[in-house]
């Protein structure tokens, strides 16, 4: 295949769900931080809370919708994100080569990766499990606060807070590295395609074992 040929990495359903994550999780993170630090006066904080709730509803409905219309993609994503191999251990041993690249201007050998590298797999696993817990605890705290036993409500609040802060920090790293890998960043938000040469370098196992030619209509 020509090195400059574009190959599909992110199908339309995945890109649509990513848009939903952007318009829901970013407002959730920002309003969550504002609520945590009590950054504004009472009327403004009430507005912030309303935005937080609306964004939570969008995230919930979007996640449920994606699960229904793209169940096959969800299963595949879970399989990829939670599959741990020796190459993942080797990847984390050098942190994907990013510290060496950014701090030392030096390129180190990276073990061959599949469609997602080990860091992306970890982020995906954290977003999947953490996001599900954030949605569940958020609905419990907002929708049924008087039905929850005091101890459970407190635990829900702590889980919601800790996971929210953790995923917000993780998201900052994800966005930074996503922009750094600009072809992949552009593909996720636009046409879903990346150059074959880049895929072969970053995800050789995916190219060798999973990539198939699509029949032209």
Scored b (16 or more CB within 10 A) or e, 133-167 reads: bbbebbebeeeeeeebeeeebeebeebbeebbeeb
| Other residues' Cβ atoms within 10 Å of the Cβ of residue 46 | 10
Average pLDDT over residues 152-174: 95
pLDDT at residue 215 is higher than 70: no
Q: How far is C-alpha 155 from the chain's CA centre?
A: 25
Kindly report the backbone phi and psi dihedral angles of residue 188, in degrees, each rounded to the nearest multiple of 5, phi listed first.
-65, -35
What pTM, to 2 d.p., does this model score? Answer: 0.89
| Other residues' Cβ atoms within 10 Å of the Cβ of residue 75 | 11
Scored b (16 or more CB within 10 A) or e, 96-132 reads: bebeeeeeeeeeeebbebbbbbbbbbbbbbbbbebbe
Q: What is the pLDDT of residues 44-86, one digit of tens each?
A: 999 999 999 999 999 999 999 999 999 999 999 999 999 999 9
Q: Kindly list the structural domains of the chain, giving each domain's residue range(s) and its CATH number in brackets, ordered by start.
A: 6-209 (1.20.950.20)
Cα 162 from Cα 171, distance rounded (Å): 14
Task: Tell me the Ramachandran region of residue 136: left when phi exceeds 0, alpha when psi lies from -120 to 50, beta otherwise.
Answer: alpha
């Amino acid at each position: 295949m020509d090195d400059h040929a574009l190959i599909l990495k992110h199908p339309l359903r995945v890109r649509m769900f990513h848009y939903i994550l952007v318009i829901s999780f970013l407002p959730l993170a920002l309003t969550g931080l504002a609520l945590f630090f009590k950054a504004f006066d009472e009327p403004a904080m009430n507005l912030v809370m309303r935005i937080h709730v609306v964004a939570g509803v969008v995230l919930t409905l979007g996640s449920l919708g994606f699960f229904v219309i793209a169940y096959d993609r969800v299963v595949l994503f879970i399989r990829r994100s939670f599959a741990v191999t020796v190459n993942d251990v080797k990847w984390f041993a050098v942190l994907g080569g990013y510290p060496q690249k950014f701090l030392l201007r030096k390129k180190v050998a990276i073990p061959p990766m599949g469609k997602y590298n080990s860091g992306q797999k970890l982020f995906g696993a954290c977003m999947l499990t953490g996001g599900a817990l954030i949605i569940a605890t958020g609905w419990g705290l907002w929708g049924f606060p008087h039905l929850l036993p005091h101890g459970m409500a407190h635990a829900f609040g702590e889980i919601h807070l800790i996971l929210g802060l953790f995923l917000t920090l993780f998201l900052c790293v994800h966005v930074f590295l996503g922009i750094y890998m600009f072809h992949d960043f552009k593909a996720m938000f636009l046409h879903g395609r990346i150059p074959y040469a880049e895929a072969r370098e970053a995800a050789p196992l995916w190219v060798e074992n999973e990539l198939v030619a699509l029949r032209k209509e």
